[in-house]
Amino acid sequence: MIVDETIRGEIRKRLSGECLFDEPAARHTSIGVGGKIDLLLFPRDAQELREVVGFLREREIPFLPVGNWTNLIVLDGGYRGALVSLARLRSLSLRDDGHNGVRLLAEAGCPLSELVSLSAREALAGMEFCAGIPGSVGGAVRMNAGAYGGEIKEIVESVIVLDASGATRADAREELRFAYRNLDLPAETIIIGAAFRLWRDDGEKIAGRIREIVAMRKEKHPLEFRNAGSIFKNPRNCPAGRLIEEAGLKGTRIGDAQVSAKHGNFIVNRGQATAEEIVRLIVVIRQRVFENSGHNLEPEVKIIGE
């Protein structure tokens, strides 16, 4: 489907939020690569999201939801179709259940950092492991983000989705198929928001855990360069970073894409890296790690486009 002037006009009519045409993905991906996206849409609320997604379906325009772009590599040829950003859906509220538990309700576009700050301010435990993960609520639920012994699935109570038929529904945790760095969702399902179950605890203890995690991240992760977080999933009982280091790959560079010298499971953009260089480096890493250890590393980052 070619996104022509008529389609652009129709989209503009349905969207009071921003819409960008032929927008370079490199301006948005945390690793700073990616070609032009035909349509980048920012619906203002859930109603606009429903309308615009309905239109995309009707016209058979391929689309994907995006959050903070921190786990995403868009290829240099760009994306044919629409990327629908949830960034404007960011309401956040707390509901006390009268006991020790509190429900945190967040729209998909809320940055995890806001949830972490709010829960620290309110002395609510459960979110500390998210400190320093730069994703949005939608991306974190979709990826079942995790770190330092915690995972999103452990604190999710329910997830609100817009399904492929255009209906909105809330799925309770027991109905959701979470796995390591994945929530198995039917194609074309968009997460609109989620409810998290937190509990009251000592505020100082919570703040201390958050400080500790942020300090460990600063020490271990190459935050001085643009990156997309962990490139590969960790095989069972064996960190991918260690396997990459043992294969002698730290510091390996293709163009401006480099295996971080600080952490083997990060590829950093040393300036003008292209998606092609990153993908070539991913291929080299997989091959060398397989030769060295027999492990078949699976990418954690999502690679989209052409």
134 binds ligand FAD (CB under 6 A): yes
Query: Which alpha helices (H) appear in 59-146, and where do they start and end?
Result: 112-121, 137-142
Catalytic residue positions?
A: 181, 230, 300
Give strand pairing partners of 70: none
Residue 214, CA atoms < 13 Å, CB-side half-sphere:
13
Question: In the structure encoding, which two tokens stand for residue 37, read together?
Answer: 């996206």
In terms of CB distance, is 7 or 66 closer to ligand FAD?
A: 66
Name the phi and psi angles at 198, rounded to 5. Answer: -120, 170
For 174, which DSSP code?
G
Work out which of 119, 158, 227, 269 binds ligand FAD, going by CB under 6 A.
227
**Least Cβ distance, residue 228 to ligand FAD (angstroms):** 5
135 binds ligand FAD (CB under 6 A): yes
28 binds ligand FAD (CB under 6 A): no
Work out which of 3, 116, 133, 159 binds ligand FAD, going by CB under 6 A.
133
275 binds ligand FAD (CB under 6 A): no
Name the phi and psi angles at 140, rounded to 5. Answer: -70, -35
**Least Cβ distance, residue 180 to ligand FAD (angstroms):** 10
Binders of ligand FAD among residues 169 to 198 (CB under 6 A) are 190-191
CA distances to 34, 38, 138 from 161, in Å: 28, 25, 10
Binders of ligand FAD among residues 249 to 268 (CB under 6 A) are none
The CA distance from 260 to 282, in Å, is 13
The CA distance from 45 to 89, in Å, is 6
Binders of ligand FAD among residues 55 to 114 (CB under 6 A) are 64-72, 86, 108
The CA distance from 291 to 111, in Å, is 39
| Strands 168-172 and 156-162, sheet pairing | antiparallel
138 binds ligand FAD (CB under 6 A): yes
Binders of ligand FAD among residues 143 to 162 (CB under 6 A) are 143, 145-147
In terms of CB distance, is 108 or 156 closer to ligand FAD?
A: 108
Residues lying near ligand FAD in the complex (CB under 6 A)? 30, 64-72, 86, 108, 133-136, 138-140, 142-143, 145-147, 190-191, 221, 223, 227-229, 302
